[in-house]
A = this chain, B = another copy of it.
Amino acid sequence: MALTFWFDFTSSYSYLAAMRVEREADAARVPLVWQPFLLGPIFAEAGSGGSPNLAAPAKEAYMWRDIARRAAARGLPFTKPEIFPQRSVAPARATLSLPGPERPAFVRAVFAEVFGRGRNMADEAVLADAARAAGLEPERIAAGAADPDNRAALFAAVEEARRIGVFGAPSFVTSDGEIFWGDDRLADALAWERTGSLPAADLPPPTTANA
């Protein structure tokens, strides 16, 4: 029994989720699986040719504003990356090369480079800095990113995402197969994993006008 956290390193909202998901899951006593994948092939299959957040200038402007103000509310650094979206295969493969307990610190370190400092994860020096920040040897991360086994594992992850209906990131998938899409659905996902349903909403009472 665990909640699976599906993320793509180039997903801006995956940054917000990655930086809090472990402490939220720990607080809820829900085991967590960190599962990198790639949105690119999934968007390509949908025929949209890219992130729906980039479908219109107003939507992209909103996304950056929304990320910035939410990051500020959480005390997270935020710098809009110079390059966006970025090629995320190398850190995704490197993550898959790590045993579960080593993933969270490395994943957070990569996200911090990209969305905290605005750097490009396709740059080997950036991945090396992330490795060092996570207490890992840069050579080990570079080797993990290059290993054909991890290429195959990443391909399999994309296929699995498609099979279970994951179409965006971050997505949280419960043990019973329920999908919760978006950083703002994390609390719901944790509640569902614990209880198999959503808690009743805490709504204010209707006013007389709410006839």
- Residues of A participating in the B interface, judged by any CB pair closer than 8 Å: 20, 22-24, 26-27, 45-48, 52, 55-56, 58-59, 61-62, 65-66, 69-70, 72-75, 101, 104-105, 135, 162, 165-168, 178-182, 184-185, 197-201, 203-207, 209-211
Contact = CB atoms under 8 A, between A and B. Distances in A.
A136 to B, nearest CB: 12
A161 B155 CA distance: 41
A209 B104 contact: yes
Nearest to A56: B46
Given A198-B70, A200-B73, A201-B74, A58 B210 contact: no
Number of copies: 2
Given A56-B167, A73-B198, A210 B22 contact: yes
A112 to B, nearest CB: 12
A111 B115 CA distance: 39
Given A69-B198, A74-B201, A210-B104, A61 B165 contact: yes
26 contacts: A22-B209, A23-B203, A23-B210, A24-B204, A27-B204, A46-B56, A47-B56, A48-B55, A48-B56, A58-B165, A58-B167, A59-B167, A59-B168, A61-B165, A62-B167, A65-B179, A66-B181, A70-B198, A72-B197, A72-B198, A73-B197, A75-B201, A101-B209, A104-B209, A104-B210, A105-B211
